[in-house]
Amino acid sequence: MKRIKVIAGNWKMHNDNSAAQQLASQIKIRTTDIKKTDIILCPPFTALTVVHDVIKDTRIGLGAQNVYWEKSGAFTGELSADMIKSSGAAYVIVGHSERRQYFGETDETVNKRTKAALEAGLKVILCVGESLDQRESGITANVVEAQVTGGLSGLTSEQMEDIIIAYEPVWAIGTGKVATPEQAQEVHAHIRGLVEKLYNSDVAAALRIQYGGSVKPDNADSLLSQPDIDGALVGGACLKAETFVPIIQSAEKL
């Protein structure tokens, strides 16, 4: 089965509304010839509607960077899945390592957010990945396995159609230290094997697994050409059209 590549830009806490409008417009102008690859922009919450206005007549998708699991109520500072959907977003990133590291995210809360997002009709980019210590102690496979199993807990095979997994080794995020294509491929194949065990071979074959962690135009080809790497979740390089669009073009020509 040929999986469609998916390149997502995680803008993190960058770009006010005017900068967001400009960046989205530049990406839009430079991707009119992209016909196969899925493109997703994930600006901060405040810029979702601004970016939506720019890209609404294109095939570029919109995603948020987090979601709360309750539908409404006294949860100051939080946003529900329906609110995110009403901003025009179709995707949400859940369980990014920065959320896990700085905001106390656990596999249990990641799972709650994932379920709430799916129930509201959003697609989820579920992030997993080991720290440097964990890799050096040789427990990468166990860590990733626990995160994938915990994050997907209770999801049906049908719901798996709306899941993208992003494998992002924590030591490669924002460090310029990219996993080698072989290191990434090994973990991606492991995740696909695990999903086959948890579900079945059809679900595993259809699942898209992105790599994230210092993806740049000059390493995109070698990563994206690995058999189990179906796209990229890009941080630093997604903040400029000049570095984000070449990554999309790498995916498009494969």
Instruction: List, by residue number, the catalytic residues.
Output: 96, 168
Nearest to 216 by CA among 186, 183, 185, 250: 250
Question: What is the spatial distance between Cα 208 and Cα 91, in angstroms, rounded to a whole number?
Answer: 14
State yes or no: residue 212 binds ligand PGA (CB under 6 A): yes
For the CB of residue 42, give the shortest distance to ligand PGA in the complex, in Å.
9
State yes or no: residue 173 binds ligand PGA (CB under 6 A): yes
Q: Sign of torsion, CA 100 105 111 117?
A: negative
For the CB of residue 95, give the shortest distance to ligand PGA in the complex, in Å.
11
For 139, phi then psi, to 5°, come to: -115, 20
Nearest to 146 by CA among 201, 184, 200, 108: 108
For the CB of residue 13, give the shortest distance to ligand PGA in the complex, in Å.
12
Q: Which amino acid is at 248?
A: I
Of positions 81, 125, 187, 215, contacts ligand PGA by CB under 6 A: 215
Nearest to 150 by CA among 198, 189, 103, 184: 198
Beta strands in the chain (DSSP E): 6-10, 38-42, 60-64, 91-94, 123-128, 163-167, 208-212, 231-234
For the CB of residue 239, give the shortest distance to ligand PGA in the complex, in Å.
9
Length of the chain: 254
For the CB of residue 76, give the shortest distance to ligand PGA in the complex, in Å.
26
Decide whether 12 or 204 has the Cβ nearer to ligand PGA: 12
Question: What is the spatial distance between Cα 208 and Cα 71, in angstroms, rounded to a whole number?
Answer: 28
State yes or no: residue 236 binds ligand PGA (CB under 6 A): yes
State yes or no: residue 65 binds ligand PGA (CB under 6 A): no
Decide whether 39 or 203 has the Cβ nearer to ligand PGA: 39
For 250, phi then psi, to 5°, come to: -60, -45
State yes or no: residue 247 binds ligand PGA (CB under 6 A): no
User: Which segment (49-57, 109-117, 182-190, 213-221) binds ligand PGA by CB under 6 A?
Assistant: 213-221
Three-state secondary structure call for residue 70: coil
For the CB of residue 231, give the shortest distance to ligand PGA in the complex, in Å.
12
Of positions 174, 180, 200, 242, contacts ligand PGA by CB under 6 A: 174
Nearest to 127 by CA among 170, 174, 95, 162: 95
Of positions 5, 6, 7, 10, contacts ligand PGA by CB under 6 A: 10
Binding mask 116-155 for ligand PGA (x = CB under 6 A): ----------------------------------------
User: Which segment (48-56, 110-118, 151-159, 209-217) binds ligand PGA by CB under 6 A?
Assistant: 209-217
Contact positions vs ligand PGA (CB under 6 A): 10, 168, 173-174, 212-215, 233-237
